[in-house]
Amino acid sequence: MNAVAQMASDDILVVRGLDKVYPGGFQALKDIDLAIRRGEIFALLGPNGAGKTTLISIICGIVNLGAGSIEVDGHDIVRDWRASRSLVGLVPQELKTDAFETVWNTVRFSRGLFGKAPDDAYIERLLKELSLWDKRDNKMLMLSGGMKRRVMIAKALSHEPRLLFLDEPTAGVDVELRRDMWAMVRRLRESGVTIVLTTHYIEEAEEMADRVGVINKGELIVVEEKAALMHKLGRKQLRLQLHDPLDVVPDALAPHRLELAAGGNELVYNYDTQGERTGITALLADLAAAGVRFRDLSTRQDTLEQIFLQLLKEGA
């Protein structure tokens, strides 16, 4: 197998040059190129209205494709829609359920829709895994929001998809359930399911994702390994707790662009770990020369959230 073919077979989803303009002229997506690797957890981050749900909806067949092409496991979503759709599962952002249907029936219904023969043993296993087995005869309207969310996941998994989209999967769920969901997502990945999740909880992406994509105003700003993104774009901060508070930063320290914090009790120095030099040695030497003494020091790295906000700010 040559390198190109190998690369292609490693990607379960390939999006090329995707544009989407809604009737009325609103351009939701602009020239999106994206490849999702088989077996990874990919987090798609972006503010409200960035185009995340539109992108997912097009891949799933809910919204018409504009320009460009999309392949799911080598199946074009327009020409070979039946094969591509049968590989995809979707947990939508909103809890859209038939209130009067039981958990068991609604999950069974979803499996049938996707052309799979009934398999009660599989549905039973799925419901047990999602802690829904005890609720199987309950009508949807009797379930809590968190339980409904689990049912939505069960419905999306009912036809054993290879690619699962989770659109804001933990929106509005409590911390405990969120942790449960994360554990379940990891188990799914271990079973070979590729997961694309959109989230507002950047902590979630930081916790779960192998790679992160940031989308804003319909444009994919960056796609990067999570660790590399944090390493490349994250800044580090050195905080010095001063022995004696300062009113202003001494002129001798001006080249270091220090900031005063905590009412003059701390000096903050931002540096780039990717830079040739961090400048810390020179800073410490200049501090000693200026007679600024400190009691303690600490370093802190940008979180994914700070990186995300910074990217959005730069893209604005």
Q: Which residues form the interface with other proteins (CB under 8 A)?
A: 22-23, 60-64, 81-83, 85-86, 88, 90, 92, 94, 96-101, 105, 108-118, 155
Is residue 23 within 8 A of residue 89, CB to CB? The reply is no
Between 55 and 90, name the residue whose CB sits nearer to other proteins: 90
**How many residues are there in the chain?**
316
- Is the CB of 54 or the CB of 199 nearer to other proteins? 54
Q: How far is the CB of 62 from other proteins (least distance, A)?
A: 5
- Residue closest to 197 by CA, chosen among 169, 173, 217: 169
Residue 303's φ and ψ, nearest 5 degrees, are: -80, 170
- Give min distance, CB of 249 to other proteins, in A: 56
Q: Tell me whether residue 23 or residue 263 sits nearer to other proteins (CB atom).
A: 23
Return the SS3 of 297. Answer: strand
Residue 50 or residue 209: which is nearer to other proteins going by CB?
A: 50
| Rounded (5°) CA angle 199-22-47 | 20
Least separation in angstroms between CB 112 and other proteins = 3
Instruction: Write 8-12 long-range contacts (CB < 8 A, 24+).
Output: 8/74, 9/38, 9/74, 10/37, 10/38, 11/35, 11/36, 11/37, 11/38, 12/36, 12/37, 12/38, 12/39, 12/72, 12/73, 12/87, 12/162, 12/163, 12/194
| Rounded Cα gap, residues 6 and 189, in angstroms | 21
Q: Are strands 194-199 and 163-167 parallel, antiparallel or unpaired?
A: parallel
Of the pair 104, 308, the CB lying nearest other proteins is at 104
CB 18 within 8 Å of CB 31: yes
Query: Of the two residues 83 and 184, which places its CB atom closer to other proteins in the complex?
Result: 83
Q: Find the shortest distance in angstroms from Cβ 137 to other proteins.
A: 14
Shortest distance (Å) from residue 193 CB to other proteins: 16
- Minimum CB distance to other proteins, residue 128 (Å): 22
Report the nearest approach of other proteins to the CB of residue 90 (Å): 5
Question: Rounded to whole angstroms, how far apart are CA atoms 82 and 66?
Answer: 19
Comparing CB distances to other proteins, the nearer of 85 and 226 is 85
Assess contact for 14 and 35: CB atoms under 8 A. Answer: yes
